[in-house]
Chain A
Amino acid sequence: NAGVTQTPKFRVLKTGQSMTLLCAQDMNHEYMYWYRQDPGMGLRLIHYSVGEGTTAKGEVPDGYNVSRLKKQNFLLGLESAAPSQTSVYFCASSQFLTNEKLFFGSGTQLSVL
């Protein structure tokens, strides 16, 4: 069972470069989330989606964009990376009706130089 898969696992960018992080889940979940994890700050919600074709802003959305063209995929984009976006990014998903817990991917370590 794959669960939630994030690619890539590691990435180093230069300031101003762009990239896309991919999250894929095979559990047919409606809800998908992107979090960033920084030391001493826990997990903060960047963007989320409640279903295919829908996205919404979370707690810290600035500098990021997202898309959910297919139910199983949730993409997080950085158009012009900044050092402040150096972080570990986690994708998570959950089912709409039960929504008892989040299923997490293993994370993407992103460094912006």
Chain B
Amino acid sequence: AQSVTQPDIHITVSEGASLELRCNYSYGATPYLFWYVQSPGQGLQLLLKYFSGDTLVQGIKGFEAEFKRSQSSFNLRKPSVHWSDAAEYFCAVRRFTSGTYKYIFGTGTRLKVLA
């Protein structure tokens, strides 16, 4: 069965430090991968997506992610974290099944940023 795993439930980093959030997927075909961010009390907002081509994708707010097929991973990175990055981050995979697109989300990683 297709699935998305985010092994870290909580991560705490200091402002200005680098960040890497892990995501592993299980999917038979070439995956369509996404990272979404959820600020407190808000809906989810797309950070970036990978469909094909260059395996390093750039997103909004200075985030990037790298697709590694050999490791079935799509980790999210940011060189220098800002206090406003504190939020919950979700990795997701999209699949086409039963005539429609469905999105499978990971369980999320909550990021705390220390001043």
Interface residues, chain A, with chain B CB atoms under 8 Å away: 4, 31, 33, 35, 40-45, 48, 50, 56, 58, 90, 92, 94, 99-102, 104-107
**Beyond A56-B98, A105-B43, A106-B43, 11 additional pairs, beta carbon < 8 A:** A33-B103, A41-B107, A43-B44, A45-B102, A92-B43, A92-B44, A100-B51, A101-B46, A101-B49, A104-B43, A106-B42
Closest chain A CB from B94 CB (angstroms): 8
Q: Given the complex of chains A and B, what is the CA–CA distance between A105 and B45 in angstroms?
A: 10
Q: Given the complex of chains A and B, what is the CA–CA distance between A108 and B99 in angstroms?
A: 28
Interface string of B35-72 (1 = CB under 8 A from A): 01000011111100101000000000000000000000
Establish whether residues B106 and A42, one from each chain, have CB atoms under 8 Å apart when the complex forms. Answer: yes
Q: Given the complex of chains A and B, what is the CA–CA distance between A104 and B36 in angstroms?
A: 10
27 inter-chain pairs at a CB distance below 8 angstroms, sorted by A residue, are A4-B43, A31-B101, A33-B103, A35-B105, A41-B107, A42-B107, A43-B44, A43-B105, A45-B102, A45-B103, A48-B100, A50-B99, A50-B100, A56-B98, A56-B100, A58-B102, A90-B44, A100-B51, A101-B34, A101-B46, A101-B49, A102-B44, A102-B46, A102-B103, A104-B44, A104-B45, A106-B42
